[in-house]
Amino acid sequence: MKSDMYAVNALLETLYGICVVALALYGFHNLWLSACYLLRPARKAQAPDSTFRPNVTVQLPIYNEQHVAERLIDACAQLNYPPDKLQIQVLDDSDDGTTALVYASAQTWQQQGINVEVVRRETRTGYKAGALAYALPLATGDYIAIFDADFVPPPDFLQRTMPYFGDYSNADVGFVQARWGHINRTYSWLTRCQALALDGHFVVEQTARDRSGYPFGFNGSAGIWRRECLEDPQVGGWQPDTLCEDLDLSYRAQMAGWQGLYAGSLEVPAEVPVQLLAFKRQQFRWAKGTIQTLRKLGRRVASHAAWSPVTRIAAFAHLTSYLIHPLLLLMLLVTLPMLLWDIDPARPLAYLSIFSFGPPLLYALAQKRLAPERWFLRWAWLPLLMLMGTGLTVNNTLAVFQGFRQQGGAFLRTPKFRIDPGQSQWQQSGYQLPLQPMVIGEFFFFLYAIATIIVAWAQGHYGAAPFLAIYAAGFGLMVGVELWQAWRSRSARDNLRRQRDRARLRAEADRIRG
74 belongs to the catalytic site: no
Specify the pairing of strand 223-226 against strand 259-270: unpaired
Q: Which of 92, 150, 210, 246 is catalytic?
A: 246
Report residue 287: phi and psi, to 5°. Answer: -65, -50
H or E stretch at 404: helix 393-405
**Is residue 222 a contact partner of residue 322, using CB atoms and an 8 Å limit?**
no
- Has 93 been annotated as catalytic? yes
Other residues' Cβ atoms within 10 Å of the Cβ of residue 148: 21
From first CA to last CA, the distance across the chain in angstroms is 92
Q: Is the separation of the CB atoms in 335 and 452 below 8 Å?
A: yes
SS3 of 491, please?
A: helix
**Could you give the CA distance from residue 297 to residue 256 in angstroms, rounded to a whole number?**
12
Alpha helices in 303-372 (DSSP H): 309-319, 324-340, 346-355, 358-370
Nearest to 415 by CA among 61, 63, 59, 130: 63
Dist. CA 293–CA 318, nearest whole Å: 11
- Rounded to 10 degrees, the C-alpha dihedral 46/52/53/55 comes to -100
DSSP line for 332-346: HHHHHHHHHTT--TH
Q: What is the rounded distance in angstroms from the CA atom of residue 120 to the CA atom of residue 91?
A: 6
Exactly one of 92, 93, 150, 248 is catalytic; which is it?
93
Residue 263 pairs with which residues in a beta bridge?
A: 178
CB crowding 55-68: b at 16 or more within 10 Å, else e? ebbbbbbbbbbbbb
Cβ-based burial of 15 (10 A; exposed 0-12, middle 13-18, buried ≥19):
middle
Task: Evaluate the CA torsion angle 264, 269, 273, 274 in order and state its sign.
Answer: positive
Strands 259-270, 56-62: parallel, antiparallel or unpaired by DSSP? unpaired
Count other C-beta atoms under 10 Å from residue 8's C-beta.
Answer: 12
Q: How far apart are CA 87 and CA 54, in angstroms?
A: 11
CA distances from 52 to 92, 159, 229 (A): 30, 9, 18
Catalytic positions: 93, 246
